Structure 1
Amino acid sequence: MKKRDIYLLSPTPEEGTIPLPMISFSLVTDKIDFDGCDILLFTSKQAVKSAEAIDTGWKKYPAVAIGPATKKQIETLGGSVIYHPSSFYGETLSQHIVTYFKDKKILYLRPQKVSFDTKGYLERAGIEVQEQVLYETSCADYPNEEAPSKGAVIIFTSPSTVNCFFQNFEWDQSYTAVLIGEATKKYLKPDMNYVVADEPLIQSCIEKANSLVE
């Protein structure tokens, strides 16, 4: 019996998976306005990479990070993380910021589209938030013949990868989805077979996928 293929939809290929990147990133600005901010807020590692490409001065400011991958990216590039939450979703992070950073001026460096209105939530709680869009995402374009094979396990690493997948392919009932987190679940179509990774990390997604094909 043929082993089930594992497809990874994130932009970075990983060993043991078939790369099928669904999104690409492009910068939408060439400067960051840090004026008046005390701390930075990052909700994705791509935002950190984008900040690094635009102005390395971001590392002068302490950062709040959502998720371990974002925290790791900040530290890898030489920034400092003063807080990262134990839960990895926008609403939980925003509640924690209200608790710990109510007197701080926050600069939220973000993608063009976000799955949770962090700025709106914080401002309703009385926290001053500046925000700047650093990058945008776009969907890849694939012909039908590049659809995942029957029985495939497909790793979705963000809501964007779900949306872009369905711009390209139909869902086959033989597929199983592996999701990087609960927030991605609400973007699925009805009756899709799925599991959620134990941690919101690509490596954890791959481990979960491997457990399905063994």
Structure 2
Amino acid sequence: MLSQKSLARSGALREIIVVGYQNYDFAKSLVVGEIIYEDFCLDLRGFEALIFTSKNAILSLEENAKKHSQMQEWKQKPSYVIGRGSAKVLQNLGGNLAYISPNSHGKEFATLLQHTLSPQTSLLYLRAKNIISNLDETLKNAGFSIHSQIAYHSSPLSLKNSQKPPKNSILLFTSPSAYAYFLQNFQWDSSYLAVGIGKSTFESFESGIKKEISPIQEIEKSIKLLQSRLGV
């Protein structure tokens, strides 16, 4: 939780930087990796519902559906998603939003789905190549019929040392891989405060660093919360 006390301990923090995979017009950004969509074609007739834990999986599915018209029927399938950002992307593409998880952690999302869906429902989980939560395995072990499709993967960028954030920066990480790619480029400065969007990102932070979890999973709102508490 972003507490006044912890922010005060962090010193004169004034610069908030979003560390992730894209530039944002509402905040300073540091792009540390790129998202690469996988090519795939699926017969969706055997699936009754779709599961997404990232907007990138939704965007990848739509890109592949443009190449394989029979996949456009994904928009009629009930979709279960994590995060309002993903839900917004899905709705903007014409998808059928059935459920938004109030929790941003994949493991807890899997538990919620067990109470929301019937084990007889045939599920398709569109996911990243590397995941932490093992949501699909959790549902399989609970007796659910679920097929996983890798929809995208990430790749790190090589950054110049001049791009390293200045001391006392607040670094708002959008994913565990964004944090990993940051460390591939830069040595961590003890004056930094790491803020995780979501529980999985927060849990990826190394021990011994100053870190917080944002109570808000939407990046722009999380930044506004930080700004209001810092007075910047």
Q: How does the TM-score come out when normalised to structure 2?
A: 0.85
Letter in 1 for 2:39: T
Structure 1 segments (4+ residues) deviating >3 Å: none
Q: Offset of 1:57 from its aligned partner?
A: 3.2
Pick which of 10-19 and 82-91 moved more: 10-19
**Between Structure 1 and Structure 2, how many residues are aligned?**
213
Indicate the residue corresponding to 2:6 in structure 1: none
Q: Offset of 1:190 from its aligned partner?
A: 2.0
Letter in 2 for 1:61: K
Indicate the residue corresponding to 2:60 in structure 1: 50
Work out whether residues 13 and 170 of structure 2, in 8 Å CA contact, stay in contact via their aligned partners in 1: no
Pick which of 168-177 and 6-15 moved more: 6-15
**How large is the RMSD of aligned CA atoms in angstroms?**
1.8
Distance 1:141 1:156, change over 3 A: same
Deviations 1:104-127 (A, max 9, x none): 000011111111111110011100
More helix by share: 2
What's the secondary structure of 2:149's corresponding residue? strand
Distance 1:30 1:128, change over 3 A: closer
Structure 2 residues not aligned, in runs of 5+: 1-11, 66-71
Question: 2: CA distance between counterparts of 1:3 and 1:191?
Answer: 18
Pick which of 202-211 and 122-131 moved more: 202-211
Indicate the residue corresponding to 1:114 in structure 2: 131
Q: How does the TM-score come out when normalised to structure 1?
A: 0.92
Indicate the residue corresponding to 2:210 in structure 1: 193
Matches within 5 A, 1:9-158: 9-55=19-65, 56-101=72-117, 102-158=119-175
What's the secondary structure of 2:51's corresponding residue? strand
Question: 1: CA distance between counterparts of 2:150 and 2:218?
Answer: 24
Q: RCO higher in 1 or 2 (8 Å CA, sep ≥ 6)?
A: 2
Letter in 2 for 1:72: K
Distance 1:213 1:15, change over 3 A: farther
Work out whether residues 178 and 197 of structure 1, in 8 Å CA contact, stay in contact via their aligned partners in 2: yes
Percent identity, aligned pairs only? 27
